[in-house]
Copies of this chain bind each other. A is one copy, B any other.
Amino acid sequence: MTSRQRLQQADVGRLRDFGVRALSHGHALSEEEQQQLRVALSDLQTQPAGSELFTEGERLNRPCLLLEGWAARQRVLSDGRRQIFSFVLPGDGFGFSGRPAGMSPGNVVALTAVTVVPLPLLEEALYRDAADPIRQSVWEMLALRESLLANQVMRLGRQSAYERLVHLLLEFHERLAAVGLVQDGSFEMPFTQEVLSDALGLSTVHTNRTLQQLRREHLIETHGTAVRLLDLKLLAEIADYRRAPGL
């Protein structure tokens, strides 16, 4: 909660609609339910890149929905080494755990400027009736979060730098496509190679060289921070990639 910036009025509507879609997640909502959601999504906040959205050890009782930008869950060792556990993408929730006394196992940090909205609803919905569509969406968020962590463990534990990078790129592609952020097979990865390295458990130098190899082999293309995966099938084979359950 360090600072907040202005949002263009036109964006507010678009972001709210995006939030409504993220929370219905394929399940049909009545007009009335949608309207209630839009109201709940009122307090949009924009925070600059680098701001800490959540602190390690903080009580997880301030549920938020990320509407725009990238964030990361991470932990920093006492000697400064950083590991990113997982990325928080538009449509993802964070800052809650259905446990009253739950504590965050790491920081949540904004990698770009982000727009978030506090949403106590996320936690409340967990206890609704099993048929409630919002409840289902929130559970899917939690299940996806765990599944992504499992992927991350698999990558870090048993895959080579090359495989790891491909696997993570495929994961980005799949998650971003699910929220409409892949255009023409290309998506934005709006952060430095150091961030990528801290997610992959590699040095920046090695990450750089691995990226170059993928470019040389015409498996990916990059333009600035935009990435295009050129052969999804082959890439998936290289990384032994499996679609995340719940995506």
Interface residues of A (CB under 8 A from B): 57, 73, 75, 77-79, 81-85, 97-106, 126-127, 130, 136, 139-140, 142-143, 145-147, 149-154, 156-159, 198-201, 240, 245-246
Dominant secondary structure of chain A at its interface with chain B: mixed
Complex: A151 Cα to B153 Cα, angstroms:
10
Q: Are A150 and B106 in contact (CB under 8 A)?
A: yes
State the Cβ distance, A96 to closest chain B Cβ, in Å.
Answer: 11
Given the known interface contacts A77-B240, A150-B85, A153-B83, the answer about A246 and B99 at a Cβ–Cβ threshold of 8 Å is: yes
Who on chain B is nearest to A126 by CB? B98
Point out which of A99, A102, A152, A245 has the most chain B C-beta atoms below 10 A from its C-beta: A99
Complex: A98 Cα to B142 Cα, angstroms:
9
Q: Are A240 and B78 in contact (CB under 8 A)?
A: yes
Q: Are A136 and B99 in contact (CB under 8 A)?
A: yes
Complex: A199 Cα to B150 Cα, angstroms:
12
Chain B residues with CB under 8 A of A140: 99
Chain B residues with CB under 8 A of A143: 97-99, 102
State the Cβ distance, A153 to closest chain B Cβ, in Å.
Answer: 5
Q: Are B150 and A75 in contact (CB under 8 A)?
A: yes
Chain B residues with CB under 8 A of A139: 97-100, 102
State the Cβ distance, A47 to closest chain B Cβ, in Å.
Answer: 23
Point out which of A85, A199, A200 has the most chain B C-beta atoms below 10 A from its C-beta: A85
Given the known interface contacts A83-B158, A156-B156, A158-B83, the answer about A102 and B246 at a Cβ–Cβ threshold of 8 Å is: yes
Chain B residues with CB under 8 A of A103: 245-246
Q: Are A156 and B201 in contact (CB under 8 A)?
A: yes
Chain B residues with CB under 8 A of A199: 157
Q: Are A99 and B158 in contact (CB under 8 A)?
A: no
Complex: A81 Cα to B147 Cα, angstroms:
19
Complex: A98 Cα to B100 Cα, angstroms:
16
Q: Are A77 and B146 in contact (CB under 8 A)?
A: no
Q: Are A130 and B100 in contact (CB under 8 A)?
A: yes
Q: Are B105 and A150 in contact (CB under 8 A)?
A: yes
Point out which of A82, A83, A150 has the most chain B C-beta atoms below 10 A from its C-beta: A150
Chain B residues with CB under 8 A of A142: 97-99
Complex: A156 Cα to B100 Cα, angstroms:
29
